[in-house]
Amino acid sequence: MKIITYNVNGIRSAINKGLTHWLSGEKPDILCIQETKAQPDQIPSEEFKNLGYSCFWHSAEKKGYSGVGLLALHQPDRVIEGMGIPEYDREGRFIRADFGDISVISVYHPSGTTGDVRQEFKMKWLEDFLNYVKELRKERSKLIISGDFNICHKPIDIHDPIGNSNSSGFLPEEREWLDRFIASGFVDTFRVFNQQPHQYTWWSFRANARSRNLGWRIDYHMVTENLKPKLRGATILPHVVHSDHCPAVVEIEF
């Protein structure tokens, strides 16, 4: 199974930039999408269905904002939109699909870059998300959580760790949360296979950051430790350009 996570920064814009053509060639079994910035009736799902995908969307109440999706070549047993927490579900940040005893989640963690209020919201979300996942694992012990975490974990994951030490996305408290998240029983799949620096999934639109590879690795496939023996590979696709993010891939047997 090949699973790709991709923050498309507006799905209609990404489609106009060739997303569907790329998808027809890449053909992942599951595509987890973040930041659709669209309501379900605004998304041309027929383009994905023509490629053999079943489409599932969880949009924000606010139009043109946030939103996640999940495309699957294999019909899931069940799809759950949201976490049952209204303050988060109204922002369209979580969708889960169950395939047998494995659950695949597309998640879009909040950004705190717009100021203190949203940073506080982000930190609250992170704690509530961790608690939610701990409870979910009592019912669904095999999880693949794919998406935009909006956090660089370690200095190797960001182009300028010193200059960004006070930047949202690389704050000590955010990185400490990611330490705790992984310690609770998760594996950062990319680092199982690749320990090299300068591996990023997001670049600012400013200062030619992408062409200079001044990036951040904030998009992850996190899997529960019981799935680590099933991992077969993990890569980043920096040359795929429909967004300010790029796709991240994990290959896993199930």
Query: How many residues are recorded in the chain?
Result: 254
Q: Using one digit for the tens of pLDDT, what is the confidence trace for 84-105? A: 999 999 999 999 999 999 999 9
Report the share of the chain in percent with pLDDT over 90. Answer: 99
CB 154 within 8 A of CB 182: no
Choosing from 29, 148, 157, 188, the catalytic residue is 148
28: helix, coil or strand? coil
Q: What is the mean pLDDT of residues 166-190?
A: 98
- pLDDT tens-place string over residues 41-71: 999 999 999 999 999 999 999 999 999 999 9
Task: With residue 187 as reference, give the H or E element that holds it.
Answer: strand 186-188
Average pLDDT score over residue span 206-234: 98
pLDDT digits (tens, 9 = 90+) for 135-162: 999 999 999 999 999 999 999 999 999 9
Q: How confident is the model at residue 214 (pLDDT cuts 50, 70, 90)?
A: very high
Q: Which residues contact 147 (CB under 8 A, 6 or more apart)?
A: 5, 7, 32, 34, 68, 105, 106, 107, 108, 109, 219, 220
CATH of domain 2-252: 3.60.10.10
Indicate the angle between helix axes 172-183 and 116-139, nearest 10 degrees: 0
pLDDT of 240:
98
128 catalytic? Reply is: no
The residue extents of the domains of the chain are: 2-252
Looking at residue 196, its pLDDT comes to 97
Please report the pLDDT score of residue 73 as a whole number: 98
Mean pLDDT score, 181-199: 98
